[in-house]
Copies of this chain bind each other. A is one copy, B any other.
């Protein structure tokens, strides 16, 4: 039997590692950034764009897909892969993060969460069992446990209750049926409390999941606290299982988290920023809507070869944004997703080549210089 997770190379200077996750829809080379396809589409983009970028895995949102188009449609289409026409791997979240965000619209019990749809107000009930069943029907390659994600800041008592229910729910998820080949990840909680993070991780490790996610971060806590929590978590999460940091992030955070031993990331940042005109570039973050770009006929990122940068100028993209042209949203989103996909590919290669630290320094000194000049 093929191993689910192989480590190809370990960085000598840090916890960074280059690996491969073998999924039912092909290999996923790690560390990896997973573009977010909330409603069965990467916002402003299409599946052929993901193929052209060589994307091996994307994320889909159980909460959104369950509500619309609904499981009846997706099942008839042969699962989320068939519905979307996407052939590589899909990770689906459990909907926990979304239903806990519906503060006015939900009621939590030991059994599960009752909530009202943000679309039409209809009542629904998510339990660990039916959330796993939904992901079974979606046919995702990596299935996430149903967890409680508390807000930041949370009192320790509140964070503790979230850890406890997350562990009990994880047991019920683990006992639920999945299809052959579907992988199941546990999600650790514990806010920023090291003792809670340790307990949460230990309890999940004891259940032996295929992989482990760090949930409840990137929800507003200061960056050093996030990094500290990642560091404490990867100290105990098993070496031989993939580690997934949910909802991160920025190029700076991605370098740091890989250094701390994280393998998988997802974030809406590249598409959300793209729709606002913010571009990641090798020289730092820029907002293309700003006046100086009106006459700037250079490529948005001179070091990039994406569909935007290979063909269009900053001045043209600036104009499309100012004129409200939809193509602007596509081009900027495409560039940002390509930027993070390629960034993680470079990071992985630097681990394999044994020069992770040099690459990190070189990237960040160039990337952060602009921000420091501006601020």
User: Interface residues, chain A, CB within 8 Å of chain B?
Assistant: 39-48, 64, 68-69, 72-73, 76-77, 83-85, 294-295, 297, 307, 311-313, 315-316, 318-320, 322-323, 325-327, 329-331
Say which residue of B77, B307, B315 sits within 8 Å of A69 (CB atoms): B315
Expressed in whole angstroms, the Cα–Cα distance for A313 and B64 within the complex equals: 20
* Chain B hits for A72, CB < 8 A: 295
Tell me the bound Cα distance from A45 to B307 in angstroms: 13
16 A-B pairs with CB atoms under 8 Å apart are A39-B319, A40-B323, A41-B323, A41-B325, A42-B327, A44-B327, A46-B331, A48-B307, A69-B319, A83-B315, A83-B316, A83-B319, A326-B326, A326-B329, A326-B330, A330-B330
B73 lies within 8 A of A295 (CB)? yes
Q: Taking CB as reference atom, which chain B residue is nearest A311?
A: B85
Residues of B within 8 A of A313 (CB): 77, 83, 85
A71 to chain B, nearest CB (A): 13
Q: Which 10 A-B pairs have the closest CB atoms?
A: A69-B319, A44-B326, A39-B323, A41-B325, A46-B327, A41-B327, A85-B311, A68-B323, A326-B329, A41-B320
A80 CB → nearest B CB, Å = 11
Closest CB-CB distance, A166 to chain B, in whole Å? 29
Q: Are A69's CB and B326's CB within 8 A?
A: no
Q: Which secondary structure dominates where chain A touches chain B? A: helix
Partner of A330, one of B40, B46, B316, B323: B46
Q: By the criterion CB–CB under 8 Å, are B69 and A311 in contact?
A: no
B46 near A297 with CB under 8 A, answer no
Q: Give the contacting residue for A315; candidates B77, B312, B315, B325; CB below 8 A.
A: B77
Q: How far is the CB of A328 from chain B (nearest CB, A)?
A: 8
Select which of B76, B85, B326 is within 8 A of A43 by beta carbon.
B326
A78 CB, nearest partner CB in chain B, Å: 9
- Chain B residues with CB under 8 A of A39: 319-320, 323, 325
A41-B320, A68-B322, A316-B84 known; A294 and B73 CB under 8 Å?
Answer: yes
Query: In the complex, what residues of B have CB within 8 A of residue A319's CB?
Result: 39-40, 68-69, 73, 83
Q: Which partner residue on chain B sits nearest A308 by CB separation?
A: B46
Interface pair A69/B325, CB less than 8 Å apart? no
**A37 to B, closest residue via Cβ:** B325
The listed residue (B76, B297, B307) touching A295 by CB distance below 8 A is B76
Cβ-defined contact, A77 with B297, below 8 A = yes
Q: How far is the CB of A86 from chain B (nearest CB, A)?
A: 10
Distance from A268 Cβ to chain B, minimum over Cβ atoms (Å)? 14
Q: Is the CB of B311 within 8 A of A47?
A: yes
A331 to B330, CA, bound (A): 12
- A64, A76, A311, A323 — which one has the most chain B CB atoms within 10 A of its CB? A323
| Most chain B Cβ neighbours within 10 Å, of A307, A320, A331 | A320
Q: How many angstroms between the C-alpha atoms of A73 and B297 in the bound complex? A: 10
- Residues of B within 8 Å of A323, CB to CB, are 39-41, 64, 68-69
CB distance from A41 to the nearest CB of B (A): 5
**A297 touching B76 by the CB < 8 A rule?**
yes
